[in-house]
């Protein structure tokens, strides 16, 4: 799976603690294999973000993304549930 990053995602990622950054990179690697999507809790969002999807990094942090094609995504944002607002 090809993964691209929006500038917003990169800025938010750079503000995270180093240990959390490592965890994010591990989850992105897992996300590349569609078989792991269930364990990452990949799901479609609702409301104003209805075109987007999300997956869990841990109990607090999520990554919001969109599918560009079936095997290509763009990571849009990372953060706690406030990123949905």
Instruction: Report CA dihedral (22, 11, 57, 20) to the nearest 10 degrees.
Output: 30
How confident is the model over 7-42, as pLDDT tens digits? 999 999 999 999 999 999 999 999 999 899 999 999
State the total domains in the chain.
1
The whole-number pLDDT of residue 31 equals 96
* CATH number of the domain where residue 31 is located: 3.30.2310.20
pLDDT at 69: 86
Q: Supply the pTM of this predicted model.
A: 0.93
> Which pLDDT tens digit goes with each residue over 47-60?
999 999 999 999 99
Containing structural domain, residue 56: 2-84
Edge-to-edge strands, sheet with 43-44 = 2-5, 72-79, 62-69, 53-56, 43-44
Please compute the mean of the pLDDT values over residues 73-79 and round it to a whole number. Answer: 96
pLDDT band, residue 82 (cuts 50/70/90): confident
For residue 64, the tally of other CB atoms under 10 A from its CB is: 21
């Amino acid at each position: 799976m090809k993964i691209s990053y929006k500038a917003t995602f990169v800025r938010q990622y750079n503000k995270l603690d180093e240990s959390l950054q490592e965890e994010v990179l591990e989850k992105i690697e897992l996300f590349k294999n569609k078989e792991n999507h269930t364990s990452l809790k990949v799901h479609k969002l609702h409301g104003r973000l209805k075109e987007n999807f999300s997956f869990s990094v841990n109990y607090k942090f999520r990554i919001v993304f969109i599918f560009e094609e079936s095997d290509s995504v763009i990571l849009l944002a990372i953060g706690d549930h406030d990123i949905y607002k």
